[in-house]
Each structure stands twice: as structure tokens, then as C-alpha cells.
Amino acid sequence: MGLFNRFTLHTPESVELEFTLAGIGNRAYALLIDYIFFGLILIVFLVGALIFNSVLTEAVTKLIGSTNRLELWLIAVQALIAFFIYVGYFVFFETVWSGQTPGKRYVKIRVIRDDGRPVRLQQSTLRALFRPFDDLFFIGVFLIVFSQREKRLGDLVGGTLVIQEEQPRTTVALKVSKSTQSLIDSLLAEADISRLLPEDFAVIREYLHRREAMIPNARNELSKQLATQVKHIIVLEKLPTKVDANLFLEAVYEAYQQVNR
């Protein structure tokens, strides 16, 4: 049941580190937020550039009369500055915030090196320089979707990974809906809950703990996919069509614990 793309990293110190890859949905969501912030910065820069161009052009016109070459030079220089701002946005935040930009921090994902250590200036710079190719030509989307470690071109060149930021687990019991009780009784009577392996239950528990942090569309798709897999495992032939996938998974979670007490 491969709901989350997890992998184990063996460090040179013989320590095993387990990570969950961020996934295309979380990365796209974080990038959208970053582009909104970058867009605001770019607007401020363009307004300042227009004012500067107007003042400089007027002054040069009074001195020599022609400003054709000056305008071309200004456009070229300011386009280069805009590109450096674009690259610098990602380099600055990923370096200062240990692999996070404002978008990544909000979505709770992080960039790390292939060896599990925090990214440095070199890796962040390489990732940022290759970002235009990943974004404009959709190379990054295809590479993330089809590569085992979900690496875009910038990650391959920079030697980095994008992972979900692990949150400390509490011992508080998972809160489930009150309406699950009748469904739990049905599952215990009609389904073979004992067919669920511990690792199957772990995936269900992982999803229920993480679902609130997921994008709604991604959460709906994952819950349906997982519910279908679980239904097949426990040999459940009949299930009310109006039962929500999340409600079903909550009921399976509780039923499994009752069976294994």
C-alpha cells in the first residue's frame, strides 16, 4: 500500500534516517505561494525601474537628445537584475531557513542534501539556476512524477531532495467522528479486519494523522485510493455508497484496534 513515498537513507555514520518525499502536490502548492511573494517583489522592482528610467531618460534627452541605445541598455540590465532577484529569492530563503522558502515553510516541506544534511549556498544556487528550465518547459513535473526520489532537474544537478517536514508525534489518541460507531459495528460483523497487516494499519494511521495538512483535492484522491485498497484487503463486498472515504478509514482504524486489543 504505497500511499506515501518513503525512503531510508544510510548515512556514513551507519545511522538510518527515514524520510517522506514531499510529492508533486505539496511542491506545486509551495511554489504557487512563493511565486505570489516573488510577484509582489517584482512589482515593486518594476515600479522603481520605471521611475528610474523616466528620470534618467529625461535627463539624457536634455543633454544629448537621443535615448534609443540607452533604453535598450536599461531593458537589458533590468531584465538581468530581475533574473537575479528571481534566483536570489530561492537561494536566500533556502540558505537562511535551512531549505525552506515562505511557500515551503507554509506547506511544511523542506529541501535537504542527498546525504540528509541541510542544504548550503552551492546546492540552493544550482537548484535556483535550473528552476526556469523545470518550470517553463515542465521538465520538473515529468521528472518528479516519474523518478523514484521525485527529483526535478535542479535536484539532480544540486544533489538535493524535497521532503515533508516531520512533526513531533504526541501520545494523544486520534480523534475520529462520532458517526463512525455504527460503521465500526458493521465492519466487525461483515469484514475480515484480521487480514490487515501491521504495515497496512500504519499507512492508515499515517494518512489520518497527516490529512489535515494535505491539499483538499489531494486528500480526497488519496482517501479514495486508500479506501479502495483497504476494502479489497478486508474482503468487504458491501459498503453503503454514501459513506465518505475518510469516515470509512476512521472506522477501519478503530475496528483494527478493537480486534487487536
Over residues 25-32, the mean pLDDT reads 93
Q: What is the pLDDT of residue 183?
A: 83
pTM value is 0.61
Model confidence over 113-124: pLDDT tens digits?
A: 888 788 999 999
Q: What is the pLDDT of residue 17?
A: 62
Q: What is the pLDDT of residue 235?
A: 84
Q: Cβ neighbours of residue 7 under 8 Å, at least 6 residues apart?
A: 18, 19, 21, 149
Q: Give the residue with greater pLDDT, 231 vs 71.
A: 231
Compute CA 51 distance to the chain's CA centroid, rounded to the nearest angstrom: 38
Angle made by CA atoms 67, 72, 73, in degrees to the nearest 5:
95
Please say if the pLDDT value at position 1 is more than 80.
Answer: no
Residue 11 confidence class, pLDDT cut points 50, 70, 90: low
Q: Give the residue with greater pLDDT, 173 vs 53.
A: 53
Q: Tell me if 91 sits within 8 A of 124, measured CB to CB.
A: yes
